[in-house]
């Protein structure tokens, strides 16, 4: 049975908490962005306040073996500072029995990187490149077998399990999903996960209408499943950024050197047809700010999106497109934004994306629910200073994308089952 952090009695209990402390480090192992650590603090602090102790577990990077470069020992001082208590460190996540047993209420222990063990991901490591199918199968079976013991050991340290790692909720890993079965009556989401799940539900399950999705970014191929799922759910679908040119070309437009994927033109047409059948309003760009090279200082000119000259490429949304989109956004009650509508990394082509951020901020101020999620649009709103002017900014790139695709995330299902 699923529990809730606010109502669960943590008094005298040890909680094993999966967080996402996969933070970027510089060459001297200084944390360059501690957002993920800070976002987990409300959950950890709450458990300590309620008389519990926390055993914190996370991955860092993608080590394929024990590798000091990816040690969580680099962040333990900063975690202590954020949490306000000295955090102890267990140098091997599978040998923390004594340290876990000795923890008293109000104390915290951080386990070493879970991915030092292949069992966390449940994928075999060190297979020879020319391994036969049979060898691969046997290695997979072996790691799945030893994964059970790995997970059981982690579970043995604690009385309850809290998952607050939305960034890995789309992975069926030991610490994100499998461990939950050891806590049938003592498993729950942390506040960050609760917030993410509520945000997804606000858009996909309980949306106030009209519901609008703005999907941008570079390629149709990376968001095909997103587009296919959303076209059956939204009232308005705004398609911008690099992916828009595949749609325009499929409709017979001349797009010059703009980014496009010929093999996805049939999918683009199918999405437009489905939208028509379902009465969904699709809004593509009408004109586009073009450049002659993928460079900030390249000459700029606006062209009709159906008639871009051969030696120009579309790099940002034009004022005419943005005006259309602003009207749609301001008339909506729920808005989901995923993907920039131009090459926002180049300041001369960031205006469109900045305008969308402003439109979302205005819609939010008017009472709309706005969710920014999945990858580069999050970086855009954060860099542009709009993160606190929208209703919710997701912390999970891949996880949010999969949620918007309509998939059930293993990390969520393991708690809700």
Please list the residues that pair with 162 across neighbouring strands: 17, 188
Q: Which of residues 276-315 bind ligand AMP (CB under 6 A)?
A: 314-315
Question: Interacting stretch for ligand AMP, rule CB under 6 A, among 64-72, 143-151, 342-350, 386-394?
Answer: 342-350
- Here's the x/- map for ligand AMP, 352-391, by CB under 6 A: it reads as -----------------------xx---------------
Sequential DSSP letters for 56-108:
EE---S--SS--GGG-GGGGHHHHHHHHTSPEEEESSTTS-HHHHHH--TT-E
Query: Residue 294 and residue 230: Cα distance in Å, rounded?
Result: 31
Please report where in the chains the tokens 């996540």 appear, as a residue.
93
Angle, helix 191-204 to helix 35-49, in steps of 10 degrees: 110
Respond yes or no: is residue 326 known to be catalytic.
Answer: no
Catalytic residue among 36, 171, 233, 249: 36
Tokens at 307, concatenated: 């008639």
3-state helix, strand, coil split of the chain in percent (to 5) is 45, 20, 40
Minimum separation from the CB atom of position 230 to ligand AMP (A): 15
Assign 376 to helix, strand or coil. helix
Reported as type and span, the H/E element at residue 266 is helix 265-278
Residue 154, number of CB atoms within 10 A of its CB: 26
270 binds ligand AMP (CB under 6 A): no
Catalytic residue among 123, 152, 153, 219: 219
Minimum separation from the CB atom of position 220 to ligand AMP (A): 9
Question: Interacting stretch for ligand AMP, rule CB under 6 A, among 190-198, 295-303, 343-351, 363-371?
Answer: 343-351
Question: Interacting stretch for ligand AMP, rule CB under 6 A, among 111-119, 188-196, 341-349, 357-365?
Answer: 341-349
Q: φ, ψ for residue 388 (rounded to 5)?
A: -95, 10
Respond yes or no: is residue 36 known to be catalytic.
Answer: yes
C-alpha 156 chain-centroid distance: 30
Catalytic residue among 195, 373, 375, 411: 375
- 266 or 347: whose CB is closer to ligand AMP? 347
Question: Interacting stretch for ligand AMP, rule CB under 6 A, among 186-194, 267-275, 319-327, 339-347?
Answer: 339-347
- 80 or 222: whose CB is closer to ligand AMP? 222
Nearest 5°: the CA angle 63, 147, 39 is 55
Residues lying near ligand AMP in the complex (CB under 6 A) are found at: 216-219, 222, 241-242, 259, 314-315, 339-340, 342-345, 375-376
Catalytic residue positions, numbered = 36, 219, 375, 398
């Amino acid at each position: 049975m699923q529990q809730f952090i606010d109502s669960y009695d943590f008094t005298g209990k040890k909680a094993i908490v999966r967080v996402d402390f996969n933070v970027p480090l510089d060459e001297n192992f200084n944390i360059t962005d501690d957002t993920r650590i800070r976002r987990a603090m409300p959950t950890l602090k709450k458990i300590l306040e309620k008389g519990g102790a926390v055993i914190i577990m996370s991955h860092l990077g993608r080590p394929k073996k024990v590798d000091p470069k990816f040690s969580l020992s680099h962040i333990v001082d900063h975690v202590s500072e954020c949490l306000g208590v000295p955090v102890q460190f267990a140098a091997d996540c599978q040998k923390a029995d004594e340290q876990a047993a000795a923890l008293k209420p109000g104390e915290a222990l951080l386990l070493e990187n879970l991915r030092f063990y292949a069992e966390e991901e449940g994928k075999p490591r060190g297979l020879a490149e020319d391994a036969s199918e049979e060898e691969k199968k046997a290695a997979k079976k072996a790691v799945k077998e030893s994964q059970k013991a790995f997970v059981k050991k982690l579970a043995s340290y604690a009385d309850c399990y809290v998952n607050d790692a939305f960034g890995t909720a789309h992975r069926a890993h030991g610490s994100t999903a499998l461990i939950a079965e050891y806590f049938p009556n003592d498993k729950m989401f942390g506040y960050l996960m609760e917030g993410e799940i509520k945000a997804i539900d606000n858009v996909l399950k309980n949306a106030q209408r009209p519901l609008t999705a703005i999907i941008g970014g570079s390629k149709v191929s990376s968001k095909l499943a997103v587009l296919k799922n959303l076209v059956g759910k939204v009232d308005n679908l705004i398609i911008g950024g690099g992916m828009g040119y595949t749609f325009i070309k499929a409709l017979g437009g001349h797009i010059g050197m703009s980014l496009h994927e010929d093999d996805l033109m049939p999918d683009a047409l199918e999405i437009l047809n489905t939208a028509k059948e379902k009465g969904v309003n699709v809004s593509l760009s009408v004109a586009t700010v073009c450049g002659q090279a993928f460079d900030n200082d390249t000459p700029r000119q606006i062209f009709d999106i159906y008639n871009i000259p051969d030696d120009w490429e579309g790099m940002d949304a034009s004022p005419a497109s943005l005006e259309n989109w602003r009207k749609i956004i301001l008339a909506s009650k729920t808005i989901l934004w995923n993907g920039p509508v131009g090459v926002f990394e180049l300041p001369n082509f960031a205006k469109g994306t900045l305008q969308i951020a402003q439109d979302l901020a205005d819609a939010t101020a008017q009472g709309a629910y706005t969710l920014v999620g999945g990858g580069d649009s999050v970086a855009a709103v954060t860099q542009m200073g709009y993160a606190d002017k929208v209703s919710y900014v997701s912390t999970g790139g891949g996880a949010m994308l999969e949620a918007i695709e309509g998939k059930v995330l293993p990390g969520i299902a393991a708690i809700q089952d």
